[in-house]
Structure formats: structure tokens, C-alpha cells
Amino acid sequence: MRKVLGVMLALLLALGAAVASPPAAVATQADRDDGPRTQGIPGEIETSDDKDLAAWQRLQFGMFIHWGLFSELGGVWKGKPVTKGYSEQIQMWADISEEEYLDVAQRFRPDRFDPKEICSLAKRAGMRYVVITSKHHDGFSMFDTDTTGYDVVDATPYKKDPLKALADECRGQGLKFGFYFSLVDWHQGHDFDGNNNNPIPASMEPVIEGQLRELMTNYGDIAEVWFDMSSPTAAQSRKFAGIVRELQPRAAINSRVWNNKGDFRTLGDNEIPAVALDGAWQTPASIYHETWGYRSWQKREDLPGKIKDLVGGLTGVRARGGNYLLNIGPRGDGSVVEFEADVLRGMGDWLDRHPGAVLGASATRFGGQPWGEVTVNDRDLFLHVTQWPKSGELRLPGLATSVRDVREDGSKDRLDWRRDGDDLVVTLPERPRDKVLPVVKAELAGKLRIIPQHTVALGPDHEAVLEGADIEHGYSYADDGSYSSTKRTTVRHTAHLSTERAGRLSVAVRGEARPEALYRVQVGKHSRLVKGADLTRGAVGPFSVRGGKVTPVTITLAAPGHAGEELGLRLDSLRVAPAGKPVGRERPGIS
């Protein structure tokens, strides 16, 4: 019996040791209980609910081409560089008469314009669509038009329609195609105006309408129409946008048709917003900030630095949910400047090294980080490190999804990482692997969820007052009919709450609202509609909330006239309390 007891005791001790100390090979980073206990909100920024606009958003990266009669001059007039203004507007800045400008047309022979080469270059760079100037402010049409003889077919020795050839080649190579179209037209009667804010007289409307109908009819499917400048009336903006929608209903129209009649907002030249914007938007970018059209005397230097700068621009825009439209300016003979082609190939090389990190990836609700940007592609989270931390550690706050693996993108070597509360902390190597823009890839165990930075944890009484830093604001842009009238707008207020247990809450808004506006107050998946006059006079609810998760509380306009319409709500504070507790007379609203 003593022998049996001894054997059993030995077996129990051995089993206990095995349980207490598993073999090192079995324990991996994937076995860690690394996920926050609170369920976060979806971290991916979704595309538009409109399927056609969402299809345009998924294009993500495109080639802009500024090419026209101005390209023949290359930023030089009468032997001297024209240093004022963009070179595509040289007729204005050098005060060139139309007679002199027509002399330029007589020598315009773009025999080196090669649509196949241009489309191949765009694809090599990772671009998915091409937008080219059909007519710039000089009014010279780069397409075959019946509205005027002031065009590339009738007024030059070239006698061909280069845009038709480019549209066909784009289609053949699987690229989407679009047009830039200036609403300023010096040939049709607009005066030179340094701000390009010219109103459109009624006498010019037939030509604009006729040219738009030609462009929307004769070149196949159009993905984007990029209007520019002028100061049209609301009726004119509606009419021009209406022609596009009639003939090309799937085309996306930019906001520079003005009066908020476009489908997406065009930001300022080379602008990267500080925060993600609500709604669809695009940044037009140029390889050189000084010009868009060809400039023969432009300094072209530091190719690696230029590639690095533009890769950073592309990543910053994509991480915030915008499309990036990057410009080249071919010479007058149609050839692409070698430096610009090298820049695009360099960007394509970087994208090839990081497949899925930008193209095909989505923006996230993390926003810009001190060290860089964040994108997500299914369960791969990409951390774009624009500033390599001197501490040797990269910290991503508020990640509410478990992590399986972390590596520098393109490397087989795992990186050490840990969880610090809701933060992911990655130990970086001494030097980055990619000298252009290094990327760290974290493989997630599920869909991306985040804990927003200013989430307010409710106590057992389910009561809190939120103000200032507790409120997240959604931004967009609106205009009053011109570039100079464009302003940033606030279109959303959101607070984030977390609770340990389920309950029913009411929300009381303190501030000032537009009395006749109809607002939507949404808590989680449930919402109420409330008139502005009532919104700030009593509580709205009740709303059901679940325990153990983050619940957004969002106020928007119920039916905005356009995506950038100002919310018109000064929000001083937001109080939440259990339903039935007196926080002001409760107003259920309209479900």
C-alpha cells in the first residue's frame, strides 16, 4: 500500500508541475488574453450607402493630367519664365492676347502623346482611374467639339481628338476615366481674374451645356467629372450637375460645380485634413506644389525625397477616408516628364512592397497618431510609421480586438508586443526595414473594434455629464457658390459611453439649436427625431443600452439638404441619466 501511495503521489506531483509550467514551445503571443473586456465600436470607416458613390470611393488612387495649349509654352513667354501663378494659367499671368494664343495653337503638334504609355504608367503606380483636362480656364477645348472652332481638332495641325484615344485606352487597360472641366472660360468672354471667381453670364450657358453633353455622350462610361472655379448661381450648378446625372448617372461629381450640388467634396490643393471627414471627399495633389501644368524650368530634384513625400500624402489621405488624385503635367508634345514618371514608378514600388496596406484597405477611426497613420484590410491592421519613435516603442491606443501576430510588413520576423490596458505597444527594431515609409502589420483575431479615446465609463448609477473633450465632432465642408466661400462645417456631435450592465437611459442636451431643424438623436442602434426647439428643453429617450460595450450617442440633422450642411447646434453639455430620473421633462420624440 505504501508503494502504491508513493507512485500515486509522484504522478500527482508530476501532473501538477506540468499544469503549472507548460512547455515554452506551447506558449505563444496568440495565447495571451490580450483583448479588452469592453466591446468596442467598429473601427473601420465605411463607404457611402450610395452604391455608385461607394464604387467611386473604392477607386482610392487616381492620375490627374493637366495638359493643354498652355503645355506648349511650358511656363515661358517671349523667352522669359513666367514666375507668377500656375503655368496652366499662363495666358492670364503673362497677359497673352487671344490672337497670340492662337499662334501657339498653330505649332501645337502633340505627336508624342501616347495613351498606352500613360495608362501603363498609371497602373504601374497603383492608380485605378485617370482624370484629364478637357478644357481649362483658357477655354481651349482638348476634344472634338461642335460648339466652337477653338479646339484641338479645328485650331491645331494635330487634327485629332487625343481624349478619345485616352478614354479608349483606359477602358482597354481596365482603368476608369473622367474629365476636368473649367467653368471659367476666357475665350467665351470671362475677364482675367486672379481668383477665378467669375460669374457665368446667361450667354455662356449654351456652350457649357453643349460641351458637357458632348463629353458625357462621346467617350464611354465616365467615372468622375471634376468641375473647377467660377461663381455659378445655384440654378446653374443644378443645371450642370443635372446634365451629368442625366447622361452619366453613375459618375461622381465634385463639389466645384458649387452650391453644394456635387457628390463629393474636393479639398484644397494638396490638403490633408487634420481629422477624418464625414462623407465622400478627395484631395487633388501635384508632384510640385508650384504648378500643375508643364513648366520647363521647374526644379526636379531629390527623387527619393519626392517619392517619400507623396507616399506620405497618399497614406494620410487614405487613412482618413479620402481619394487621392495625383497630377502629372505632360509637355506640349504630349510626352510625360521623366522625373514625374520616375516618381510614379517609385510610389508603385512602395505599394508593391506593402500589398493591401493602402490600396484595398479602409480608413479607421483611430485618426492620425503622433507616429503616423492607421489603415485596416479585413483582419490586417497596418501601422504606417511616418515618425520612427525614439523610444523604440509604438503605442496604438484603444484597440479592442485581440492580436495574433505583429511583424514589420514584408518581414518574416515577429516583433515583440504587449497590451497595456486598451493600448497595443510594439517594440520596434533599431532601424526601419522600408526607407520610404515603414509599415507594421498586426494580425487581428477578429474584425477591428476600438475604444474611442474619450469614452466615458458610466458608474452604477448610469449618470454622467459630458462636455468639451468628451464630445467628438464630425466635419465636412459647404460653400455659397465659389471657392472663396467654402468653409468647414460641423455635421455631427458624438459621445461614447461604456456601461458594465444594461439599462435604459435618457439624454438631455444643453446648448442652442436651430428651432425649426429636425435632429436625429441616436443611442446605439436606436434613434429619436426631435425638433430643434425641443431638443435643448428636455430629455430625449428612453434608449436601451447593453452592458460591457461602448455605445455611441450621436446627434445629426435628420434630413440634411446636402452632406456638408451645418448642424447648427451649439452643444454645451450632454447629460445622460437613467430613464425616469428628472433631467428635464422627458421627450420621447418621433421614433
Calculated CA dihedral for residues 397, 398, 404, 406, nearest 10 degrees: -20
C-alpha grid cell, residue 126: 497603383
Query: Are 243 and 209 spatial neighbours (Cβ–Cβ below 8 Å)?
Result: yes
Closest CA to 282 of 206, 201, 223: 223
CATH code at position 411: 2.60.40.1180
**Considering the domain boundaries, does residue 31 fall inside one?**
no
Q: Cis omega before residue 515 (within 30°)?
A: no
- Whether 340 and 381 map to the same domain: the answer is no
Q: Is the pLDDT of residue 15 over 60?
A: no
**Considering the domain boundaries, does residue 242 fall inside one?**
no
Q: Is the pLDDT of residue 403 over 50?
A: yes
- Whether 118 and 95 map to the same domain: the answer is yes
How far are the Cα atoms of 38, 41, 144, 454 from residue 401, in angstroms, in the given order? 10, 10, 56, 18
Residues in the chain: 591
Question: What's the mean pLDDT when you consider all of the chain?
Answer: 92
Q: Is the pLDDT of residue 9 over 90?
A: no
C-alpha grid cell, residue 99: 490672337
Q: Span 115-130, mean pLDDT?
A: 98
DSSP class of residue 548 equals T
**Considering the domain boundaries, does residue 223 fall inside one?**
no
Q: Write out pLDDT tens, residues 368-381.
A: 999 999 999 999 99
**Considering the domain boundaries, does residue 141 fall inside one?**
yes
**Amino acid present at 355:** P
Domain end marker among 299, 322, 353: 353
Query: Are 334 and 113 spatial neighbours (Cβ–Cβ below 8 Å)?
Result: yes
Q: Write out pLDDT tens, residues 82-109.
A: 999 999 999 999 999 999 999 999 999 9
How far are the Cα atoms of 373, 387, 555, 591 from residue 558, in angstroms, in the given order? 32, 41, 9, 12
**Considering the domain boundaries, does residue 259 fall inside one?**
no
How far apart CA 491 and CA 154 sit, in angstroms, is 48
21 pLDDT tier (thresholds 50, 70, 90): very low
**Considering the domain boundaries, does residue 40 fall inside one?**
no
List beta partners, residue 505: 543, 578
Domain end marker among 333, 353, 373: 353
Could you please report the per-residue DSSP string of 480-528?
SSSSTT-EEEEEEEEEEEEESS-EEEEEEEEEEE-TT-EEEEEETTEEE
- Whether 487 and 531 map to the same domain: the answer is yes
- Whether 429 and 546 map to the same domain: the answer is no
Domain that holds residue 81: 51-190+268-353
How far apart CA 54 and CA 286 sit, in angstroms, is 25
**Considering the domain boundaries, does residue 281 fall inside one?**
yes
Compute how many other C-beta atoms are within 10 angstroms of the C-beta atom of residue 439: 25
Q: Span 353-362, mean pLDDT?
A: 97
pLDDT of residue 276: 84
CA pseudo-torsion sign 514, 517, 518, 520 = negative
Q: Write out pLDDT tens, residues 552-585.
A: 999 999 999 999 999 999 999 999 999 877 654 4
Closest CA to 432 of 401, 409, 460: 409
Work out how many domains the chain is built from and give that number: 3
Instruction: State the DSSP H helix or E strand holding residue 246, giving kind and residue range, or none if neither.
Output: helix 234-247
- Whether 529 and 483 map to the same domain: the answer is yes
pLDDT of residue 583: 56
Q: Is the pLDDT of residue 3 over 80?
A: no
**DSSP E strands: which ranges in 235-322?**
252-253, 265-266, 281-286
- Whether 282 and 143 map to the same domain: the answer is yes
Q: Span 457-468, mean pLDDT?
A: 90
List beta partners, residue 561: none
Q: Span 335-348, mean pLDDT?
A: 98
**Considering the domain boundaries, does residue 165 fall inside one?**
yes
CATH code at position 570: 2.60.120.260
CATH code at position 61: 3.20.20.80
- Whether 555 and 478 map to the same domain: the answer is yes
How far apart CA 580 and CA 591 sit, in angstroms, is 18
Domain end marker among 450, 476, 507: 450
- Whether 170 and 294 map to the same domain: the answer is yes
Q: Write out pLDDT tens, residues 496-505.
A: 999 989 999 9
Q: Span 170-178, mean pLDDT?
A: 98
Q: Span 204-217, mean pLDDT?
A: 98
How far apart CA 123 and CA 62 sit, in angstroms, is 9
pLDDT of residue 13: 35
- Whether 556 and 477 map to the same domain: the answer is yes
Closest CA to 282 of 258, 319, 243, 254: 254
- Whether 272 and 421 map to the same domain: the answer is no
